[in-house]
Amino acid sequence: MRQRESTIALVFLAPAFVALGVFLFYPIVQTAIYSLFDLEYSTRWREATFVGLANYGDVLASREFWGSMRFTVLFTVAAVSLEFVLGLGMALATFWVVRPLRGILRAIIVLPWAIPGVIQASMWRWLFNSDVGLLGHLAVALGLADQPPLFLADPTLAVGSVILAYVWKGASISAIFLMGGLAMVPQHLLDAAKMDGARAWMRLRRITLPLILPTILVTLLFRTLDALRVFDIVYGLTGGGPGTTTDTLSSFAYKFYFTFVQFGRGSAYAIITFLLVTGLSLLYIRRITPHLRFR
Amino acid sequence: MAQVAVQQISKRFGSVTAVDELTWTFDDGGLTVLVGPSGCGKTTLLRMIAGLEEPSGGQVWFGDLDVTAVPPWERNAAMVFQSYALYPHMTVFANMAFPLQARKLKKDAIRRQVERTAQALGIDHLLRRKPRELSGGQMQRVALGRAMVRQPDVYLMDEPLSNLDAQLRVEMRGEIKRLQRALGVTTIYVTHDQAEAMTMADTLVVLRDGRIEQAGDPELIYRQPATAFVAGFIGSPMINFIDVRLDETGAAWMLGDLRGALPARLPAAAAGTAGQPLVLGIRPEDVVVSLEAILDSLPARAVVREPLGKEALLLLAADALPAGSLLRAITPPDLRPAPDETVWLHFPPARIHLFDPTTNRALQSTIGSPR
Amino acid sequence: MRRSLHTLASLVVTAVVALFCLLPLYWVLVTSLKRPGTEFRLPLRAWPAPVSWESYLTVLGPDFRIQHAILNSLLVSAAVTAGALFLAGLAAYAIARLRFRYKVQSLTLIQMAGMAPAIVVIAPTFVLIRSLGLLSSLPGLILPNIAYSIPLSTWLLAAYFANLPFDLEDAAKTDGWPPFQVFLRVILPLAAPGLFSAGVLVFLGSWGEFMLALTISMGLPEAQTVPVAILGFSQAFQLQWAWVSAGIVLSLLPVIVLVLLFQKTVIQGLTAGAVRY
């Protein structure tokens, strides 16, 4: 019986693994192979020179790599913490406002999540426009600036702009995750805390947050993984500019591929990104797997 | 300590009225039990007293203070929940310390107070455990401890024993009652279990459809139910209801050929006009069952006999009753009619209750009248 | 008193959140309704006067044909949803309901594949699709996207299947039905709500997929999906923001409708499995 069941399982799993194999596992291995060859303007690695880890050496020695690495890490830390705070605030709000508003609020919060990253990038590019951008004029109207700032041209502001545009969507996703966690906090525990004399702040700090700690961890890990892989917002908003100020690991690797057409180095770049993300994703998967109970 | 009162309090959820302009003053220092079937509004009433539910109208008073608009954390009422509502991420000690921390007590004062309360409840050896490592009875005690660790004005208990097994439940009834006596703090206790309500209450309040059906001393309510509903709800096995009518003299009830005197406590004129239909209620333990014909008795057949140990429950069918309806009677264990053997039932006049079938109210009972 | 204060504060909070979440969308809407050529005129107004629908006609017209990209996106997302749900459904059934060795490892491998950054697969995928002759074609987009959607949908469906009762399935097995029939006739109908919620998420996910779409479409309109088309617009017409905005508004309509209709499903789906404790 057991033998038979594993055969059936194998048959059921096979199609999915074939698809994953062709479009994910195989390309990852292939990229790793590319990264060991001197490839320019071509991916015909069988005819190219094997260079061992030289591409990795080149990448790790380049200023651009460390620049994009630094930006990616800074971006990840800033974006994930900001979107967590905003997301938590919004998620709590959906449970706090009077009942008739809750559905409306949830719908509003979910909207940014659904908008494709590149389209968001276009929207924000218009909002950040230095001549007639809404945000620039708002900054002037609020007395924050004398004239509309050059959001995307000034290196410091560009970093902030990319983070803001990314956080807009990220806060929405974080809020969705946290709403799910908050919905599972039993109401009777909050009632008990009220009866025990705990005011809102104490209930949040001592009851709600500890109880949704698993959700918080999953949210932070998931969002960190996403931020480390970020591509579309950067590509569409600044293209990595000004210069390479806002290039992330992914967007710079993409330039290596399709702008510089250096497949060997680009692949080394991609593999480094992959390893970084995979380490964290193992943590993430370990975290969520035990919650599924199987036969 | 305070006298808790509600005044014309109401709660509507949409078109449903859970509590309907209810007014009651709870005994200061006593144990009042709110009892009724599910949906009668008892839990909603308790939660409004707690402040967890905002009344749609009316007021809640703690002593001279109108606390209707006071949030629960400022009311100084302690509550024990059906689910115990222990904080799963905290140890027993932290659970019990929580209300004291909310009151910003000093650390060592908190420790002393928690330890003293834990000792009184016999849970001092559990202080370092998490709730999931406790048995049901232990969780129950911790929940009580968390309520008792401070000096609340009032204890509110929402079906605190319904998650325990039968034996432990009986044990904890006595324990809670003993603690309540010792502390002398006003306690409002909600249950749907009429036996629990009877055994625990100083004052019993029977609720139905968001209103008080009858309230007062539990034994008095048992003996003198003001309505057919109360008679049916309080007491187990359930009281028998039999459709009868008043005879032409107006001084006796009739069921087929059987004719019975009205209770002496009922003035003759109270029953109404001749021939009027009435509902006769008689508790199973008040039915006299005889194997031989006796005066003023109804012939019946024993259908089922359920031995209960010190007594037995007989289920009886009678020609004078509608087909399919069975009477319940508690009999001594040595009375053993054969299946379908004819027995005679006598309803002692002093023990019967008569209800008006249109209003469902007891006829002119003078004590424990409905409010 | 306490109540009306709470109502007032709730309205303020909702307004602030709405401002944050909806302002960019609102501004795009406003821009799309400006007369083309007036986008750079100051001062800025909260509502364009006069309202002009010209840009919408332009982007729907023969030079732009945004509807073509929207149709492409709909076709790709629908095909990806169907394919991914089928493959992931089978895999999730095995993981959630069958006993076999290396189950946790299989699930971990699938999930890790889902976490891989697109950048690490894009170059070989491009080469592969080119050798299959599928560049600038919808199948060239659909096939890889099915694979990309498998990890998330396997996860969601496994979580859903695991909670279905075993009785019906056991009864069907006892009646002698082969495993695939049990899956098809018992599990799938029972799991309809779970399939639906996973389907909505897969659909939205492939709707927004960008790197592959950018690379495979090769800048040609045949296989341009909405994200690529919009990016192309906004790069080609740096000054005609009314056109670009109209394109954005039209291309967002399907997802906004989808999200508003299935807001609850989306929230439950996204948090399923990941947040239980």
Query: C64: domain CATH number?
Result: 1.10.3720.10
Give contacts of A122 with chain C, Cβ < 8 Å. 230-231, 233-234, 244, 248
Give contacts of C85 with chain A, Cβ < 8 Å. none
Amino acid identity, residue C49? A
Give contacts of B72 with chain A, Cβ < 8 Å. 191, 194-195
The answer to whether residue B71 neighbours chain A at the CB level (below 8 Å) is yes
| Residue of B232, B243, B241 lying closest to B208 (CA atoms) | B232
Express each pLDDT in A110-154 by its tens digit: 899 889 888 888 889 888 887 777 888 888 888 887 787 888 888
Q: B314 pLDDT exceeds 80?
A: yes
Taking the model in full, what pTM does it have?
0.85
| Average pLDDT of the residues in B6-25 | 93
Look at residue A76 in the predicted model and tell me its pLDDT: 94
**Whole-number percent of chain B with pLDDT over 70:** 96
Lowest model confidence (mean pLDDT) among B249-258, B275-284, C264-273: C264-273
Q: B1 pLDDT exceeds 70?
A: no
CA distance A135 to chain B (A): 42
- Identify the closest residue of chain B to A203 by CA–CA distance: B102
Identify any residues that bridge with B79 across adjacent strands, giving them in sequence order.
B156
Is B102 in Cβ contact with A199 (below 8 Å)?
Answer: yes
**Whole-number percent of chain B with pLDDT over 90:** 64
Look at residue B370 in the predicted model and tell me its pLDDT: 40
How big, in percent rounded to 5, are the helix, strand and coil portions of chain A?
A: 75, 0, 25
Give contacts of B146 with chain A, Cβ < 8 Å. 192, 196
The answer to whether residue B13 neighbours chain A at the CB level (below 8 Å) is no
Tell me the C-alpha distance between C272 and C257, whole Å. Answer: 22
Is B85 in Cβ contact with A191 (below 8 Å)?
Answer: yes
CA dihedral B293, B296, B299, B305 (to 10 degrees): -90
Tell me the C-alpha distance between A251 and A244, whole Å. Answer: 10
Tell me the C-alpha distance between B10 and B213, whole Å. Answer: 16
| Average pLDDT of the residues in B50-70 | 92
Residue B155: pLDDT band with limits 50, 70, 90: very high
Cβ neighbors of A285 (< 8 A, separation 6 or more) are C108, C111, C112, C115
Task: Give me the number of domains chain C comprises.
Answer: 1
Is B52 in Cβ contact with A197 (below 8 Å)?
Answer: no
The answer to whether residue A215 neighbours chain C at the CB level (below 8 Å) is yes
How many CB atoms lie under 10 A from the CB of residue C60?
A: 16
CA distance C168 to chain A (A): 15
Place of tokens 């009651």: B24
The answer to whether residue B54 neighbours chain C at the CB level (below 8 Å) is yes
CA distance C161 to chain B (A): 28
Q: State the helix-helix crossing angle for C241-261 and A117-127, rounded to 10 degrees.
A: 130
- Evaluate the CA torsion angle C241, C242, C246, C249 in order and state its sign: positive
Domain membership of residue C100 (yes or no) is: yes
Query: Which chains lie within 8 Å of chain A at 3 or more CB pairs, if any?
Result: B, C
* Residue B357 contacts residue B288 (beta carbons within 8 Å): no
* Residue A169 contacts residue A117 (beta carbons within 8 Å): yes
Q: A294 pLDDT exceeds 70?
A: no
Read off φ and ψ for residue B130, nearest 5 degrees: -90, 155
Look at residue B315 in the predicted model and tell me its pLDDT: 93
Two tokens, residue B254? 């009739």
Tell me the C-alpha distance between B78 and B145, whole Å. Answer: 10
The answer to whether residue A198 neighbours chain B at the CB level (below 8 Å) is yes
Domain membership of residue C25 (yes or no) is: no
Residue B371: pLDDT band with limits 50, 70, 90: very low
Express each pLDDT in C23-52 by its tens digit: 999 999 988 888 877 777 777 777 877 878
Q: B368 pLDDT exceeds 50?
A: no
Q: B365 pLDDT exceeds 50?
A: no
Q: C237 pLDDT exceeds 60?
A: yes
Cβ neighbors of C255 (< 8 A, separation 6 or more) are A114, A115, A116, C204, C207
Is C3 in Cβ contact with B54 (below 8 Å)?
Answer: yes
Express each pLDDT in A225-263 by its tens digit: 889 888 888 888 888 778 777 888 888 888 888 888 888
Is B79 in Cβ contact with A191 (below 8 Å)?
Answer: yes
Q: A188 or C264, which is more confident?
A: A188
CA distance C161 to chain A (A): 9
| Average pLDDT of the residues in B191-220 | 94
CA distance A199 to chain B (A): 6
Domain membership of residue C255 (yes or no) is: yes
Domain membership of residue C261 (yes or no) is: yes
Residue A13: pLDDT band with limits 50, 70, 90: very high
Tell me the C-alpha distance between B129 and B146, whole Å. Answer: 15
Give contacts of B71 with chain C, Cβ < 8 Å. 2
Q: SS3 sequence, chain C?
A: CHHHHHHHHHHHHHHHHHHHHHHHHHHHHHHHCCCCCCCCCCCCCCCCCCCCCHHHHHHHCCCCCHHHHHHHHHHHHHHHHHHHHHHHHHHHHHHHHCCCCCHHHHHHHHHHHHHCCCHHHHHHHHHHHHHCCCCCCHHHHHHHHHHHHHHHHHHHHHHHHHCCCCHHHHHHHHCCCCHHHHHHHHHHHHCHHHHHHHHHHHHHHHHHCCHHHHHHHCCCHHHCCHHHHHHHHHHHCCCCHHHHHHHHHHHHHHHHHHHHHCHHHHHHHHHCCCCCC
* Residue A148 contacts residue A139 (beta carbons within 8 Å): yes
Query: Which chains lie within 8 Å of chain B at 3 or more CB pairs, if any?
Result: A, C
* Residue B59 contacts residue B66 (beta carbons within 8 Å): yes
CA within 13 Å, CB half, A247 = 20
Place of tokens 């194999």: A21
* Residue A240 contacts residue A255 (beta carbons within 8 Å): yes
Domain membership of residue C171 (yes or no) is: yes
Cis peptide before C24 (omega within 30 of 0): no
**Whole-number percent of chain A with pLDDT over 70:** 97
| Average pLDDT of the residues in C93-97 | 89
| Average pLDDT of the residues in B225-234 | 94
| Residue of A15, B9, B340 lying closest to C86 (CA atoms) | A15
Two tokens, residue C24? 């960019």
Q: SS3 sequence, chain B?
A: CCCEEEEEEEEEECCEEEEEEEEEECCCCCEEEEECCCCCCHHHHHHHHHCCCCCCEEEEEECCEECCCCCHHHCCEEEECCCCCCCCCCCHHHHHHHHHHHCCCCHHHHHHHHHHHHHHHCCHHHCCCCHHHCCHHHHHHHHHHHHHCCCCCEEEEECCCCCCCHHHHHHHHHHHHHHHHHHCCCEEEEECCHHHHHHHCCEEEEEECCEEEEEECHHHHHHCCCEHHHHHHCCCCCCEEEEEEECCCCCEEEECCEEEECCCCCCHHHHCCCCCEEEEEECHHHCEEECCCCCCEEEEEEEEEEECCCCEEEEEECCCCCCCCCEEEEECCCCCCCCCCEEEEECCHHHCEEECCCCCEECCCCCCCCC
Amino acid identity, residue B285? E
Question: Which of C120, C158, C252 lies at the smallest CB-CB distance from A292?
Answer: C158
Tell me the C-alpha distance between C264 and C259, whole Å. Answer: 9
Count of positions (residues) in chain B: 371
Residue B367: pLDDT band with limits 50, 70, 90: very low
Tell me the C-alpha distance between C268 and A179, whole Å. Answer: 9
Query: Which chains lie within 8 Å of chain C at 3 or more CB pairs, if any?
Result: A, B
Two tokens, residue C157? 């469906």
Q: B269 pLDDT exceeds 60?
A: no
How many CB atoms lie under 10 A from the CB of residue C12?
A: 11
Mutation target to probe the A interface, by most A beta carbons within 10 A, among B49, B70, B73 is B73
Q: How confident is the prediction for chain A on average, in pLDDT?
A: 87
* Residue B1 contacts residue B153 (beta carbons within 8 Å): yes
Domain membership of residue C209 (yes or no) is: yes
Question: Which of C147, C231, C274 lies at the smallest CB-CB distance from A19?
Answer: C147
Express each pLDDT in B96-148 by its tens digit: 999 999 999 999 999 999 999 999 899 999 999 999 999 999 999 999 999 99
* Residue A216 contacts residue A209 (beta carbons within 8 Å): yes
Q: Which structural domain range is residue C247 located in?
A: 59-275
The answer to whether residue A22 neighbours chain C at the CB level (below 8 Å) is yes
- Identify the closest residue of chain C to A287 by CA–CA distance: C274
Give contacts of A13 with chain C, Cβ < 8 Å. 90-91, 94-95, 106
Q: C267 or B44, which is more confident?
A: B44
The answer to whether residue A63 neighbours chain B at the CB level (below 8 Å) is no
| Average pLDDT of the residues in A44-57 | 83
Look at residue C2 in the predicted model and tell me its pLDDT: 65
CA dihedral C149, C152, C155, C158 (to 10 degrees): -40
Is A210 in Cβ contact with B76 (below 8 Å)?
Answer: no
ipTM reported for the complex, 2 dp:
0.87
Q: A41 pLDDT exceeds 80?
A: no
Is A214 in Cβ contact with C27 (below 8 Å)?
Answer: no
Q: How confident is the prediction for chain B on average, in pLDDT?
A: 89
Domain membership of residue C104 (yes or no) is: yes
- DSSP β-ladder status, B77-80 and B154-158: parallel
The answer to whether residue A196 neighbours chain B at the CB level (below 8 Å) is yes
Express each pLDDT in C147-202 by its tens digit: 999 998 898 888 888 888 888 888 888 888 888 888 888 888 888 888 888 898 89
The answer to whether residue C3 neighbours chain B at the CB level (below 8 Å) is yes
* Residue B283 contacts residue B348 (beta carbons within 8 Å): no
Domain membership of residue C118 (yes or no) is: yes
The answer to whether residue B73 neighbours chain C at the CB level (below 8 Å) is no
- Identify the closest residue of chain C to B88 by CA–CA distance: C277
* DSSP result, A36-100: TEE-SS---GGGSEE-TTHHHHHHHH-HHHHHHHHHHHHHHHHHHHHHHHHHHHHHHHHHHS-HH
CA distance A277 to chain B (A): 32
Look at residue A33 in the predicted model and tell me its pLDDT: 92
Two tokens, residue C26? 């609102």
Q: B325 or B1, which is more confident?
A: B325
Q: How confident is the prediction for chain C on average, in pLDDT?
A: 86
CA distance A196 to chain B (A): 5
Look at residue B335 in the predicted model and tell me its pLDDT: 87
DSSP class of residue A115? S
CA distance B95 to chain C (A): 20
Amino acid identity, residue B229? F
Q: A245 or A18, which is more confident?
A: A18
Is A289 in Cβ contact with C107 (below 8 Å)?
Answer: yes
CA distance C151 to chain A (A): 9
